[in-house]
């Protein structure tokens, strides 16, 4: 029983989902165009990683022509930068992370609860085995979903937008 709970806790704590996209000026089959990027990126919790290795926190991001415009998270000043200086943009959605965590915890908890509920059945009672199994699955599912949902909100769902480094292409 201890091993099962530790395994469930490990799954809950290590749950995190990421969506990755490549961004290029014209887009293509495997990449987003600037217009598609502007339609996907949110307004808050954005980290801009530069080719120099430094990073900036921003909000209200927009990619227009070859320039990236955003509002600095700390100073509330508008910043405009050439898109070629951007390596990647990371956006975190904590609510979606919570929903994903809830779903995974609900499933894992329901499976564990069904096993536990089935194992607690006593032959000499009037309660059918299916009732104890279902009760265990529902109870553990809701508990697992709630706990995992809370832990899923902490890291959130991460969206990574990789930018094609055009600096090397410009030198050719």
Single pTM value for the model: 0.67
Beta strand pairing call for 157-163 and 18-23: parallel
- The answer for 20, left when phi > 0, alpha when psi is -120 to 50, beta otherwise, is beta
Asked if 129 and 76 count as a contact pair (C-beta separation under 8 A), the reply is: no
Each of the 172 residues of the chain gets a pLDDT tens digit; together they read: 667 666 656 655 555 678 888 888 777 788 888 888 888 887 777 889 988 889 889 888 888 888 889 898 889 899 999 888 888 898 888 888 888 888 888 888 888 888 877 776 566 666 666 677 787 788 888 888 888 888 888 888 888 888 876 544 444 4
Nearest 5°: phi and psi at 38? Answer: -60, -30
Task: For the chain, list the domains and their CATH numbers.
Answer: 2-12+95-153 (no CATH), 19-92+158-165 (2.30.30)
* Distance between CA atoms of residues 136 and 133, nearest Å: 5
């Amino acid at each position: 029983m201890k091993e099962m709970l530790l395994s469930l806790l490990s799954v809950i704590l290590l749950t995190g989902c990421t969506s990755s996209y490549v961004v290029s000026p014209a887009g293509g089959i495997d990449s987003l165009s600037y217009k598609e990027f502007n339609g996907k990126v949110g307004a808050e919790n954005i980290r801009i990683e530069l080719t120099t290795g430094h990073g900036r926190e921003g909000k209200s991001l927009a990619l227009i022509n070859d320039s990236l415009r955003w509002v600095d998270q700390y100073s509330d000043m508008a910043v405009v930068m050439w898109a070629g200086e951007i390596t990647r943009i990371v956006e975190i959605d904590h609510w979606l992370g919570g929903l994903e965590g809830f779903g995974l915890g609900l499933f894992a908890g329901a499976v564990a609860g069904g096993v536990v509920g089935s194992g607690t059945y006593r032959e000499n009672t009037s309660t059918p085995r299916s009732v104890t199994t279902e009760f265990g699955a529902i109870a553990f599912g809701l508990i697992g979903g709630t706990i995992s949902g809370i832990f899923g909100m902490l890291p959130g769902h991460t969206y990574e937008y990789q930018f094609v480094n055009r600096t090397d292409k410009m030198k050719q």
